[in-house]
Amino acid sequence: MAKLTAGGRFRKALLEAKPLQIVGTTNAYHAMMAERVGHKAIYLSGGGVANTSYGLPDLGMTSMNDVLEDVRRISSAVETPLLVDIDTGWGGAFNIARTIKEMTKAGAAAVHIEDQIAQKRCGHRPNKEIVSPQEMVDRVKAAVDAKTDDDFFIIARTDAFQMEGLNSAVDRAQACLEAGADGIFAEAVHTLEDYKAFADGINGAHLLANITEFGATPLFNTEELVANGASMVLYPLSAFRAANKAALNVYEALLRDGDQKAVVDTMQTRMELYDFLNYHDFEQKLDALFAEGKNK
């Protein structure tokens, strides 16, 4: 039996999980932890790349190559299928096609592409601007036509709900599905009833619910979301936010107290770190090599 591609692994996970929880991993080590505890899909946020790797806000300031670097690092460290945020695709049809090919080569399993203008904003911020439905359909067609792996999964994200309301967002989603999208990412949805209406409007196609903290969408439970039509639930930056808060606590304690005694209990231990990295397996191989060298 042929080994599944990354896209194939994503589709398998989506078939088996009800819903498929997709957790944000802004670096390879977090991806390893997510995989070890049992998550079946992981995510690389465009905002996460901008914030973590470049110290920039999520305002479309990073490039395809910036994101690809983190895709390669993460996909090299784990087998768990990776969904990648490709913003607007970084240009016109040829740019989008190149993006899909490069993401596939880098090890991504899936991407989502959105209908904001190139100077995009975080999906939960005000004053977003979206392109015409036809331009978004053209983006999706360019992405679908560029696939080199039939199982590579393409999700069309629409920000129209917040801008133009449910009916407009559903119309855009339907057009994207007709253009070949495998699923729909409904951004900044407010209620479970809205999710149900969205799911009904796209006739049960795969629907992603973005359950990000401190945004426009309440922190709905997976059971609630499944009951209202979602097949994927995304947590784009949950671990990132928790790690940031923990790091700030340590930095402040060191200045305040002159040592880390008050916060050491909040830290991952050295042995826990080594366990996730399989450090001792590497060390044993190194010891064996040294022993072999001494015996020659």
265 carries an active-site annotation: no
Say whether 187 counts as a known binding-site residue.
Answer: yes
User: To which H or E segment does residue 110 belong?
Assistant: strand 110-114
- From the candidates 112, 124, 139, 172, give the one annotated as an active-site residue: 112
Helix ranges restricted to H, the chain: 6-16, 28-37, 46-48, 54, 64-77, 93-106, 133-145, 160-164, 166-178, 192-201, 222-227, 238-257, 270-277, 279-294
- From the candidates 115, 151, 159, 187, give the one annotated as an active-site residue: 187
Say whether 203 counts as a known binding-site residue.
Answer: no
210 carries an active-site annotation: yes
- From the candidates 9, 124, 157, 172, give the one annotated as an active-site residue: 157
- From the candidates 35, 70, 102, 114, give the one annotated as an active-site residue: 114
Say whether 9 counts as a known binding-site residue.
Answer: no
Say whether 122 counts as a known binding-site residue.
Answer: yes
257 carries an active-site annotation: no
43 carries an active-site annotation: yes
Distance CA 22, CA 44 (A): 10
Residue with tokens 């080590």: 29
69 carries an active-site annotation: no
Say whether 210 counts as a known binding-site residue.
Answer: yes
- From the candidates 87, 102, 115, 151, give the one annotated as an active-site residue: 87
Say whether 98 counts as a known binding-site residue.
Answer: no
- Ramachandran quadrant class, 204 (left: phi over 0; alpha: psi -120 to 50; beta: rest): left
Distance CA 189, CA 199 (A): 12
Say whether 157 counts as a known binding-site residue.
Answer: yes
Say whether 270 counts as a known binding-site residue.
Answer: yes
Say whether 55 counts as a known binding-site residue.
Answer: no
182 carries an active-site annotation: no
Helix ranges restricted to H, 126-237: 133-145, 160-164, 166-178, 192-201, 222-227
- From the candidates 70, 85, 115, 182, give the one annotated as an active-site residue: 85
CB 88 within 8 A of CB 113: yes
Looking at the DSSP bridge assignments, the partners of residue 183 are 155, 206
Is residue 130 helix, strand or coil?
A: strand
Say whether 266 counts as a known binding-site residue.
Answer: no
- From the candidates 30, 39, 43, 228, give the one annotated as an active-site residue: 43
187 carries an active-site annotation: yes
Say whether 212 counts as a known binding-site residue.
Answer: yes
87 carries an active-site annotation: yes
114 carries an active-site annotation: yes
- From the candidates 58, 70, 151, 159, give the one annotated as an active-site residue: 58
Say whether 27 counts as a known binding-site residue.
Answer: no
Is residue 51 helix, strand or coil?
A: helix
Residue numbers belonging to the annotated binding site for Mg(2+)? 85, 87
Annotated binding site: 45-47, 85, 87, 122-123, 157, 187, 210-212, 241, 270
Catalytic residue ranges:
43, 58, 85, 87, 112, 114, 122, 157, 187, 210
Binding residues for substrate: 45-47, 122-123, 157, 187, 210-212, 241, 270
